[in-house]
Structures are given as structure tokens and as C-alpha cells.
């Protein structure tokens, strides 16, 4: 079974530029998550989708970050304009159900490492 | 809000040494508890989990027991290998109030370095 796919793996941009990340979850997984992992910290949830609807985006900086999952499968996360403090690894995860419990394990992709100069 | 506290790293051990990584949590209700591992260049992988008090999760020689009285979920392994070198994250999951959807909250991670 294929895992969660993410691209690109690495991205370097100048501040105030825009960037987009792509995620393809495990086939059949209804729930998709985007996390931000700053160096030396644990992952922090940015947004959670159930199919193509948003479940939780309370920690998404909506003035510069946006995400969509139009067909309920793959997803894109965009930052526009980027700031220095956005340098982090952006992780995508998916789960079959509502996530987190013993029957709804979250599976993580390899992440995209963003460096903002 | 819910939170997880882990011991700071790096933890440096020789091969075959005993490992303990401490984890304590703060949560309302009864969360599920997890240990995730992140090998260099890879995504997070679930290592083990426990869903209720006194449950013991185990996998690949690692163990952790859900201790409600001390709000802890310490990770242990009797004999570490060089291949265990990675970053280990403790996490909890609890349902959101209105939707029932689970939310994972992670600790800051502990880097383990095992030398031959």
C-alpha cells in the first residue's frame, strides 16, 4: 500500500515570495491533516479536512496561509507572502476515520522542508 | 489546553544500554497516548499506543505504560541498537468538544543517539 506522498521535499524561497505544497493521502483515507514542525519543536496542527470540508483551521494563520482539498483526495497548502518564521517542515498526514484513536491511526508523509531567506 | 512534556535531549547511549525517555501530559478527560518515531529524512511513524489507564503499549522492544495517577507515559527499551537513533515524540489524542474528531498534541521530541 502506498503511503502519504508529498512534494516537493525541499524548497528555498525569499521572504515575501509565495510557495505551495502538495499532498496525496493514502487511498480511501477521508481525513487529511497539515502540520507545521519548526526545528526543535513537535508538529503543530494547521488544518484538518474531512473529505473536502474543513474540520479545524483554528491554528492556521489565515492572513498568509491557505489550504484546499477540492475533490476530497489530494490537497495543497499555500503560503503567500512567506515570512522568515515560516521556515519549518510541513507534514501531511491522513487517517481512515476521525483520527487519533486506536482505530484511526494517522499516517504521515515525509514532509516538505521550507527555508525562507 | 492539552499539553505534553518530554525530557530534553539529546540522549546519548552506548549500544545495549537501557533507555528511558520521560513523558508527562496534561489533559481533560481520558486521552489516548502515543509514541511516534522520526528517523532521519523520514516522516513520523507510530511506534506504540495505549488508550486507557494501565494499558501497556509495546513494539520493536519498546514499551510504555499509561499511568493515570502520575499522568505519565514513559518510553523504555531494555537494550538499544544503533538503528534506534532517531527523534521520539510523545503525543496525546483527545476528542474535540463538539465534533468528536480527534486532535493529536505532540511533545517537543527527544533525540536519541546510540553509538556502537
Question: What are the helix and strand counts (H, E) for chain A?
Answer: 0, 11
Scanning the structure block, which residue is given the C-alpha cell 499555500? Answer: A78
- The pLDDT tens digits of the residues spanning B68-111 come to 999 999 999 999 999 999 999 999 987 766 666 778 899 999 99
* pLDDT at site A103: 53
Note the residue count of chain B: 116
A95 to chain B: closest CA residue: B102
Whether residue A91 and residue B49 make contact (CB cut-off 8 A), yes or no, is: no
Give A11 or B93, the one with higher predicted confidence. Answer: A11
* pLDDT at site B30: 82
- The pLDDT tens digits of the residues spanning A58-95 come to 999 999 999 999 888 999 999 999 999 999 999 999 98
Residues A44, A50, A51, A54: is their CA dihedral positive or negative? Answer: negative
Q: Across residues A31-49, what is the average pLDDT?
A: 93
From CA B62, how far away is CA B78, in angstroms rounded? 8
Taking the CA of residue A56 and the nearest CA in chain B, the distance in Å comes to 9
- The pLDDT tens digits of the residues spanning B30-80 come to 899 999 999 988 889 999 999 889 999 999 999 999 999 999 999 999 999
Determine how many CB atoms are found less than 10 A away from the CB of residue A51.
Answer: 12
Distances (CA, A) of B21 to B29, B75, B104: 24, 5, 19
pLDDT band of residue A97 (cuts 50, 70, 90) is confident
**With 70 as the cut, is the pLDDT of residue A99 above it?**
no
pLDDT band of residue A1 (cuts 50, 70, 90) is low
Query: Which segment, A96-100, B2-6, B40-44, B96-100, is predicted with the most confidence on average?
Result: B2-6
From CA B116, how far away is CA A50, in angstroms rounded? 45
For A110, phi then psi, to 5°, come to -75, -15
Reported in sequence order, the residue ranges of A8-116 that DSSP labels E, i.e. its strands, are 10-13, 19-24, 31-37, 44-50, 53-56, 65-68, 75-79, 88-95, 107-108, 112-116
Residue window 38-77, chain B: list those with CB within 8 Å of chain A: 41-46, 49, 51
From CA B111, how far away is CA A61, in angstroms rounded? 29
* pLDDT at site B42: 84
Q: Which of A96, A89, A87, A99 is nearest to A56 (CA)?
A: A99
**With 70 as the cut, is the pLDDT of residue A115 above it?**
yes
Q: Is B94 on the interface with A (CB under 8 A)?
A: yes
Residues B14, B37, B65, B68: is their CA dihedral positive or negative? Answer: positive
* pLDDT at site A25: 95
* pLDDT at site A102: 52
Q: Across residues A100-104, what is the average pLDDT?
A: 56
Q: A100 in the Ramachandran plot: left (φ > 0), alpha (ψ -120 to 50) or beta?
A: left
* pLDDT at site A93: 94
Taking the CA of residue A25 and the nearest CA in chain B, the distance in Å comes to 13
Residue A90, all three cell numbers: 510541513
Amino acid at each position: 500500500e502506498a503511503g502519504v506522498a508529498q512534494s516537493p521535499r525541499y524548497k528555498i524561497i525569499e521572504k515575501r515570495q509565495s510557495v505551495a505544497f502538495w499532498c496525496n493521502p493514502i487511498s480511501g483515507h477521508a481525513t487529511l491533516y497539515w502540520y507545521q514542525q519548526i526545528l526543535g519543536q513537535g508538529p503543530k496542527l494547521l488544518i484538518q479536512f474531512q473529505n473536502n470540508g474543513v474540520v479545524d483551521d483554528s491554528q492556521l494563520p489565515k492572513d498568509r496561509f491557505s489550504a484546499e482539498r477540492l475533490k476530497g483526495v489530494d490537497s495543497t497548502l499555500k503560503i503567500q507572502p512567506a515570512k522568515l518564521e515560516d521556515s519549518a517542515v510541513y507534514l501531511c498526514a491522513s487517517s481512515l476515520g476521525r483520527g487519533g484513536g486506536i482505530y484511526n491511526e494517522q499516517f504521515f508523509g515525509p514532509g516538505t522542508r521550507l527555508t525562507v531567506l | 489546553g492539552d499539553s505534553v512534556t518530554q525530557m530534553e535531549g539529546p540522549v546519548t547511549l552506548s549500544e545495549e544500554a537501557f533507555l528511558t525517555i520521560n513523558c508527562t501530559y496534561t489533559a481533560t478527560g481520558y486521552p489516548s497516548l502515543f509514541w511516534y518515531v522520526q528517523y532521519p529524512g523520514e516522516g513520523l511513524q507510530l511506534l506504540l499506543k495505549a488508550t486507557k489507564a494501565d494499558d501497556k503499549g509495546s513494539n520493536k522492544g519498546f514499551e510504555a505504560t499509561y499511568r493515570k495517577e502520575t499522568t505519565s507515559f514513559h518510553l523504555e527499551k531494555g537494550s538499544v541498537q544503533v538503528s534506534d537513533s532517531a527523534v521520539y515524540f510523545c503525543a496525546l489524542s483527545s476528542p474535540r468538544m463538539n465534533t468528536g474528531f480527534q486532535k493529536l498534541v505532540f511533545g517537543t521530541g527527544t533525540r536519541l543517539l546510540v553509538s556502537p
